[in-house]
């Protein structure tokens, strides 16, 4: 399983992802799921969930290039003019993997099941955040719906729904994403540390944060403790139900 959350606020783009993969509970591994593509004119982050063979192949394809059949040009994540075209390229790569591997995968009882989030900035263009599906189609965040989640999304959704809007400070948005990640890791063993995170300030192509939180990292440890204590205090401060015998 996987949990990744991407948030686009006024300040910029926040993306956080776990790193645990599992092929059954007896086959746990750590793989990076937040993949950054850095160049002088762009910073793009692609978060992946679902079948690892599919997502790794898509990553190789968009890095190494796919030929555009109409022009013969090799399209890569580094030479697309806009983020929209990057999203289209990722979608094409997903469909190409489906064309090659889809039938074989399903014959063996596997499912062609992935989801991705694509966020970033190309110099001179708008900052954008997309969610990309198994069919290669995609949607984009809006001012009313500023975040996407992929993977195990339910446990961590209530705090995101309640606590954020487009004007939320980016560091608060990152904090809320980490709380959401904590709730998910507590409830689903297949989502786990370390965590990767990115904060890209709007207009910039150099991330302000691009780092990993390892187990025991002091701030995240403290956040988890404080959040637990605050939840306990929160429900204890609510009066007991007044209901009684009929």
CA 98, CA 25: separation in Å to the nearest integer?
Answer: 26
User: How far is residue 84 CA from its own chain's centroid?
Assistant: 17
Considering CB under 8 A, how many residues would be counted as binding its own copies?
48
Nearest to 59 by CA among 73, 75, 48: 48
**With CB under 8 A as the contact rule, which of the stretches 62-70, 123-131, 143-151, 235-243 interacts with its own copies?**
235-243
Structure tokens at 79: 């030479």
Task: Say whether residue 106 binds its own copies (CB under 8 A).
Answer: no
| Rg (the chain; Cα; Å) | 19
Q: Which of 174, 195, 200, 205 binds its own copies (CB under 8 A)?
A: 174
Query: Min. distance of Cβ 154 from its own copies in angstroms?
Result: 4
Task: Say whether residue 145 binds its own copies (CB under 8 A).
Answer: no
Task: Say whether residue 214 binds its own copies (CB under 8 A).
Answer: no
Nearer to its own copies, 51 or 184 (CB): 184
CA 184, CA 228: separation in Å to the nearest integer?
Answer: 13
DSSP state of 11: T
Nearer to its own copies, 14 or 54 (CB): 14
Q: Which of 73, 111, 221, 226 binds its own copies (CB under 8 A)?
A: 226
| Coil/strand/helix, residue 110 | coil
**With CB under 8 A as the contact rule, which of the stretches 24-32, 74-82, 96-104, 220-228 interacts with its own copies?**
220-228
Task: Say whether residue 216 binds its own copies (CB under 8 A).
Answer: no
**With CB under 8 A as the contact rule, which of the stretches 117-125, 128-136, 143-151, 163-171 interacts with its own copies?**
163-171
Nearer to its own copies, 166 or 227 (CB): 227
Task: Say whether residue 197 binds its own copies (CB under 8 A).
Answer: yes
194 upstream amide cis, omega within 30 of 0: yes
Q: Is residue 203 within 8 Å of 11, Cβ to Cβ?
A: no
Other CB atoms closer than 10 Å to residue 95's CB: what's the count? 16
Query: Min. distance of Cβ 181 from its own copies in angstroms?
Result: 12
**With CB under 8 A as the contact rule, which of the stretches 22-30, 34-42, 54-62, 225-233 interacts with its own copies?**
225-233
Task: Say whether residue 235 binds its own copies (CB under 8 A).
Answer: yes
Task: Say whether residue 175 binds its own copies (CB under 8 A).
Answer: yes
Other CB atoms closer than 10 Å to residue 70's CB: what's the count? 6
Whole-Å CA distances, 187 to 109, 116, 156, 172, 228: 27, 22, 9, 23, 14
Q: What share of the chain is helix, strand, coil (3-state, %, to 5)?
A: 35, 30, 35
Query: Min. distance of Cβ 134 from its own copies in angstroms?
Result: 21
CA 12, CA 159: separation in Å to the nearest integer?
Answer: 20
Residues near its own copies (CB under 8 A): 154-155, 157-159, 161-163, 169, 171-172, 174-176, 178-179, 183, 186-187, 197, 199, 208-211, 219, 222-223, 226-228, 230-246
């Amino acid at each position: 399983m996987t949990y990744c959350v991407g948030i686009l606020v006024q300040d910029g783009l926040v993306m956080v992802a776990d790193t645990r993969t599992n092929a059954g509970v007896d086959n746990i591994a750590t793989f990076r799921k937040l993949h950054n593509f850095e160049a002088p004119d762009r910073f793009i982050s692609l978060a992946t969930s679902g079948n690892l063979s599919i997502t790794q192949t898509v990553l190789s394809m968009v890095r190494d290039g796919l030929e555009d059949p109409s022009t013969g040009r090799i399209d890569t994540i580094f030479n697309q003019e806009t983020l929209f075209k990057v999203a289209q390229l990722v979608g094409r790569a997903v469909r190409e993997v489906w064309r090659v591997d889809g039938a074989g995968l399903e014959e063996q009882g596997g499912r062609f099941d992935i989801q991705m989030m694509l966020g970033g900035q190309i110099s001179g263009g708008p900052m954008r955040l997309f969610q990309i599906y198994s069919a290669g189609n995609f949607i984009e965040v809006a001012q009313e719906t500023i975040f996407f989640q992929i993977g195990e999304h339910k446990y961590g959704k209530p705090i995101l729904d309640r606590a954020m809007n487009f004007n939320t400070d980016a560091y608060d948005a990152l904090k809320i994403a980490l709380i959401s990640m904590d709730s998910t890791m507590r409830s689903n063993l297949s989502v786990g540390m370390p965590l990767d995170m990115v904060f890209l300030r709007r207009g910039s192509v150099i991330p302000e944060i691009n780092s990993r939180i390892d187990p025991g990292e002091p701030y995240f440890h403290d956040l988890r403790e404080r959040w637990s204590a605050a939840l306990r205090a929160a429900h204890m401060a609510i009066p007991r139900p007044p209901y009684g015998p009929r």
